[in-house]
Amino acid sequence: MINEFKIKQEICEIGHRIYAKGFAAANDGNISYRISDNEVLCTPTQMSKGLLKPDDICKVDMTGRQIAGRRKRTSEVLLHLEIYKLDPSLKAVVHCHPPHATAFAVAGEPIPTCILPEVEVFLGPIPQTTYETPGGEAFAQTIKPHVKSAKVVVLRNHGTVSWGDTLEHAYWWTEILDAYCRILLLAKQIGRVDRIAVPKVEELLDLKEKFGMGVDPRRLESADMCVNTEFGRGFADSSCGCGKSDGAAASGEAPALSEEEIERIVQEITDRIMAAGSK
């Protein structure tokens, strides 16, 4: 017998963690948990996830009709319900706007793989949906191609959604993803992102299967192991065997500038400094 009150407490706890991590500003984000074949608990609309109490949690059926709760349910619960319909074994869904992962969503930049061992084992490739206005049925449908082959998805120009067998796991995938995206952005600022060689990635996927975490979708689909190999190519090419550039880029040297180009750049900087000083 499921203890609904305990599940509501867990939803509130995850909401507090999302808010504390900066993954959900103001009233952003929503969380749900499937308690039966036709009943789902979910967070309400227009309420901060950092202030949730068990009495705030709503209950809906699998059509999205609210059947319990003093507050109005989130409009984005349709996205959650679509995930549950596609995989009845799933119990929990977390949607929020973690800033580093959402930066990739806004930039339309595919999140690269073959970089961090933990991500290869726990997440694998992270797909990105097409954009649709949040809250409607079309928005919910954007998730359909990815539920069976992923644990977390980047919602184009919006945020992320993750799912799992428990609320804790659904939250973990989001936290791992945002930490990874932050590392990627920091590494790119340093100058380049090195990759793990494909044979070593294969070893990680062997471990993933050994741990009982399923077969990586790249193996099932015979897909390329490394996604977005151009990301963070930077000052020098990586050693992953993904291809090399010619000339100065391959040697790690910056391309030489002519005297005219240097003079133009110096003059432009001078003009900007003078303009700023006159304000």
Residues 203 and 210: beta-carbon distance below 8 Å:
no
Query: Phi and psi at residue 163, in whole multiples of 5°?
Result: -145, 160
Q: Helix, strand or coil for residue 245?
A: coil
Query: Phi and psi at residue 251, in whole multiples of 5°?
Result: -85, -5
Question: Is 203 assigned a catalytic role?
Answer: no
Which stretches does DSSP call E strand in the chain? 30-36, 39-42, 58-61, 66-68, 92-96, 152-155, 159-164
- Catalytic hit among 76, 82, 120, 132: 76
Which DSSP string corresponds to 19-65?
A: HHTTSS-TT--EEEEEEETTEEEEPBSS--GGG--GGG-EEEETTS-
Query: Phi and psi at residue 252, in whole multiples of 5°?
Result: 85, 5
Q: Which residues are annotated as catalytic? A: 76
